[in-house]
């Protein structure tokens, strides 16, 4: 059972903006640990999409942005494209569990 909660699904038309929330607690995001985001295209391995709350690895389009506040974080996708249809996971560290934790995952659908 994940300690980071995400919406099960979000959807939007091409060109629209969608956001994915990641809600944690005082032992993970609220404790100051960074939030990272992964994109998993259908049938493939996860890929690092955002690290350190708001940093994009080389090659990730600037349509993707991240933020963190309090016990939550968010991933925004602007100018939604068909190729963005995938599962997205947040990840952080939890001091109570002394381990890494992933979010429940969000399926993004492009209408």
Partner 1 sequence: EVQLVESGGVVVQPGGSLRLSCAASGFTFDDYTMHWVRQAPGKGLEWVSLISWDGGSTNYADSVKGRFTISRDNSKNSLYLQMNSLRTEDTALYYCAKDKGSGVADTCLDYWGQGTLVTVSS
* The two three-digit tokens of residue 82, written as one number: 């068909």
* The two three-digit tokens of residue 52, written as one number: 């350190």
> How many residues would you count in the chain?
111
Angle, alpha carbons 102-111-74 (nearest 5°): 30
Question: Which residues ranging from 72 to 91 are in contact with partner 1 (CB under 8 A)?
Answer: 87, 89, 91
* The two three-digit tokens of residue 55, written as one number: 């940093």
Q: Does 61 bind partner 1 (CB under 8 A)?
A: no
Report the residue from 42, 45, 62, 83 that binds partner 1 according to the rule CB under 8 A.
Answer: 45
- Give the span between the Cα atoms of 60 and 82, in whole angstroms: 15
Among 17-25, 36-44, 65-73, 75-83, which window interacts with partner 1 (CB under 8 A)? 36-44
Least distance from partner 1 to the Cβ atom of residue 11, Å: 19
Name the phi and psi angles at 59, rounded to 5. Answer: 100, -15
Question: Which residues ranging from 2 to 21 are in contact with partner 1 (CB under 8 A)?
Answer: 2
Q: Does 26 bind partner 1 (CB under 8 A)?
A: no
Binding site for partner 1 (CB under 8 A): 2, 33-34, 36, 38, 40, 44-48, 51-52, 57, 87, 89, 91-93, 97-105
């Amino acid at each position: 059972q994940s300690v980071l909660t995400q919406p099960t699904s979000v959807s939007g038309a091409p060109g629209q903006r969608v956001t994915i929330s990641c809600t944690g607690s005082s032992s993970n995001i609220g404790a100051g640990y960074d939030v990272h985001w992964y994109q998993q295209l259908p049938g493939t391995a996860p890929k690092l999409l955002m690290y350190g709350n708001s940093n994009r690895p080389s090659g990730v389009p600037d349509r993707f942005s991240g933020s963190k506040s309090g016990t939550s974080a968010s991933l925004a996708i602007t100018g939604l494209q068909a190729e963005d249809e995938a599962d997205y996971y947040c990840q952080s560290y939890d001091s109570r569990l002394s381990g890494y934790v992933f979010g429940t995952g969000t399926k993004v659908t492009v209408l």
